[in-house]
Amino acid sequence: WKDFVESPVINCKKSWWMNLLFIQNFLGPYDICLYQSWFFPTMVHVFIITAVLVYALHRWPFGGVVSTVTVIVLSVLVMALVTAITGYPATLAVYFYDYRTSIYFWKYVYTQFYTHIGSQCIGMLTAYFIAEYPIKKLDIRLVLLAWLASLLTMSSIVLGLYDYRDGAEMSRSLAVFYAAFHRPAWALVIGWIIYACATGYGGVVNSFLTWKAFMPLERLSYLAYLLHIPIMYYHGGVQRERMYMGHYNQLMCFLAYAVLSYALAFVCYIIFQAPYEIIEGCIFNKSAEENMWERNSTSVSEIKLQKTSNQVTVDEEENKSKVFNSRY
């Protein structure tokens, strides 16, 4: 209990103010309050930089695209240089874990904005091209080739480390290549999936991803992300014996963690998030009703004006006919 529960509590007492300022990835990544909260300052820093790039894309499209691609290239180069110079592992995998280097990898690589900004920029460019450029009909052979390349890329990223599961050391050149390119490559694959689904080339993948059963999970996923670590801490804290790290045991732990995380996420959603969503919905619905009333008022005025002009035209025609009849 002391190792799993009391240690995070002490960290929260010492470094809670870093969470509010979004600087714990710079000053205190070792004494972080909750380990999943590394994501917040990292993404805040990424959003600050990409906000400038979005403005550049809006004002100067060509310059914005060039600037965004430059940031992606710089992110790849930084990761390659850091891995080559420091000798850090290719990624934060269990079988690469070495206490002598992993704590530094966590501080200087995994929790830093330059590690993840390249992937963010790739997603941003994907959204930009979908929104700004007309959808063109693609050759079916090109579509199949893109799907095949995406499948091979994802398989290589996920399964490429399988041979090192028994502790074999990865060559330094391969570690540099994997560390530099596996995140941008994964982002490119996700970008293609989004583009294909948005343009009608998603097929069964689009049908699966738009399945309505995912809608409630989407509302709960963020809360589940926040809550799953405390559940794991509690489970580890109440253990009185060593755990056997077998596949079956890990599968059972995963299922239990997932079910409990989403169950608690549902409770927290009902108590905390749903009331604010209802208030927000009421505010925006009121504005929509006001806008609708204004549009209806304008339409009614236009209709009345049109009716008045038509009536004037009818009256003029009747007067002309009366004058004609009186003459003849």
Report pLDDT digits (tens) over 271-301. Answer: 998 898 888 888 877 554 444 334 444 433 3
Q: Is 149 helix (H, G, I), strand (E, B) or coil?
A: helix
pLDDT at position 94: 61
In angstroms, the Cα distances linking 213 to 33, 208, 217, 229, 261 are 33, 10, 7, 25, 17
- In this structure, is residue 217 part of a structural domain? no
Its pTM surpasses 0.85: no
Q: Considering the domain boundaries, does residue 297 fall inside one? A: no
Instruction: Decide: 109 and 189 in contact? Cβ < 8 Å.
Output: no
159 closest CA partner among 177, 178, 133, 141: 178
Q: Is residue 267 part of a domain?
A: no
Cα(222)–Cα(261) distance, rounded to whole angstroms?
10
DSSP string, 66-103: HHHHHHHHHHHHHHHHHHHHH---SS--GGG--HHHHH
Q: What value does the mean pLDDT of the chain take?
A: 82
Is residue 41 in a domain? Answer: yes
Contact between 96 and 138 (Cβ < 8 Å): no
Q: How does DSSP classify residue 161?
A: T
Count the domains in the chain.
1
Nearest Cα residue to 68 out of 79, 81, 52: 52
- The parent domain of residue 98 ranges over 34-211
- List per-residue pLDDT tens for the chain, 328 residues long: 777 777 778 888 888 888 888 888 887 666 777 788 888 889 999 999 999 999 999 999 999 999 999 999 999 999 999 999 988 888 877 656 666 677 788 888 888 999 999 999 999 999 999 988 877 788 899 999 999 999 999 999 988 888 777 767 788 899 899 999 999 999 999 999 999 998 889 989 999 998 988 888 888 999 999 999 889 888 888 888 777 778 888 899 999 999 999 999 999 999 998 898 888 888 877 554 444 334 444 433 333 334 444 443 434 444 444 433 444 4
Question: Does 7 map to a domain?
Answer: no
Residue 203 lies in a domain: yes
Provide the residue type at 21 as one letter.
Answer: L
Coarse DSSP helix, strand, coil percentages of the chain, rounded to the nearest 5 percent: 85, 0, 15
pLDDT, residue 303, reads 33
CA distance 260 to 304: 61
214-231 confidence digits (pLDDT tens): 888 888 999 999 999 889
Residues in Cβ contact with 82 at an 8 Å cutoff, skipping those fewer than 6 apart: 88, 108, 109, 179
C-alpha 235/C-alpha 260 separation (Å) is 11
In this structure, is residue 325 part of a structural domain?
no
Please name which of 84, 81, 77, 104 lies closest in space to residue 92, comparing C-alpha atoms: 104
The DSSP H or E segment spanning 208 is helix 204-209
Cα–Cα distance measured from residue 111 to residue 157, given in angstroms and rounded to the nearest whole number: 20
- Radius of gyration of the chain, Cα coordinates, nearest whole angstrom: 29
Q: Is residue 201 part of a domain?
A: yes
